[in-house]
Amino acid sequence: MNLTSIPALQDNYIWTLNDDEGKCLIVDPGEAQPVLEKMASNGWQPVAILLTHHHNDHTGGVKTLCEHFPDLEVYGPRETEAKGARTIVSEGDKVTVLGLTFRVIHTPGHTLGHISYYSSPYLFCGDTLFSGGCGRLFEGTPEQMYDSFQKLNQLPGETLVCCAHEYTLSNLKFAAAILPHDPQITAEYQKIKDLRAENGITLPTKLAHERSINLFLRTQDIDLKRALNVNITDEPVWRTFAVLREKKDAF
């Protein structure tokens, strides 16, 4: 399979997977035009769309794409039904496309119905897990997002995290401000600064790598708890995550 990211809107990525015959899967098409251009230039034939949640920057292109390709299967959580999802899926369901079977994982937090799709090594996680960060809590609670992170963190380290926004630089800037003496974060921040200065793409990233540089996956870290002034022993397990998200919101 060939994995491609299509830049869209301000900082979105629309992900595609295609086989050697040119059949193609599309993930979270926030707009149609760049997808149509990519299909035409490569001679690809889309067969399905996977939607992670209902926000328009992930669903805005569905209607037009379905007009161009009427036989498209469109999978998504219940909250995307009004945005064009034709087959509603939820936790534990399986979606088979292009010979790949994706497991549907309910990952609420950013929205209440948000889902992710996993078929080794690909993880399409929308606005849940970002490189170096996590999605904003528009509808869910910190505890829900923490639980969603724990689900995703159970996947193999070689998992390719295909998230939907180019937020890595801002996330690493925040992480470096919280733990300025952490050598892994410091080195990664400099690497990402150099890459983005040349307009390079920072995604996909591997889950094993995220475990070292993403503070939202390091909430048991004693140094992080101290930096956030979180009680090391008495707080609920998701409290550090909540404080970290509050600080990122205000950063």
Of these residues, 53, 54, 106, 114, which one is catalytic?
Answer: 53
Tell me the pairing of strands 133-134 and 129-130: antiparallel
Of these residues, 57, 114, 147, 182, which one is catalytic?
Answer: 57
C-alpha closest to that of 26 among 75, 91, 90, 89: 75
Of these residues, 28, 54, 165, 182, which one is catalytic?
Answer: 165
Q: Is 110 a catalytic residue?
A: yes
Of these residues, 58, 114, 147, 182, which one is catalytic?
Answer: 58
CA–CA distance, 52 with 114 (Å, rounded to integer): 6
CA–CA distance, 16 with 121 (Å, rounded to integer): 14
Q: Is 54 a catalytic residue?
A: no
Q: Is 165 a catalytic residue?
A: yes
Q: Is 53 a catalytic residue?
A: yes
Across the chain, how many H-helices and E-strands are there?
9, 14
Of these residues, 28, 54, 127, 147, which one is catalytic?
Answer: 127
Of these residues, 28, 54, 55, 106, which one is catalytic?
Answer: 55
Q: Is 71 a catalytic residue?
A: no
Q: Is 127 a catalytic residue?
A: yes
CA–CA distance, 149 with 219 (Å, rounded to integer): 11
Of these residues, 110, 114, 147, 182, which one is catalytic?
Answer: 110
Q: Is 55 a catalytic residue?
A: yes
Q: Is the dihedral of CA 223, 167, 246, 91 positive or negative?
A: negative
Positions marked active-site = 53, 55, 57-58, 110, 127, 165
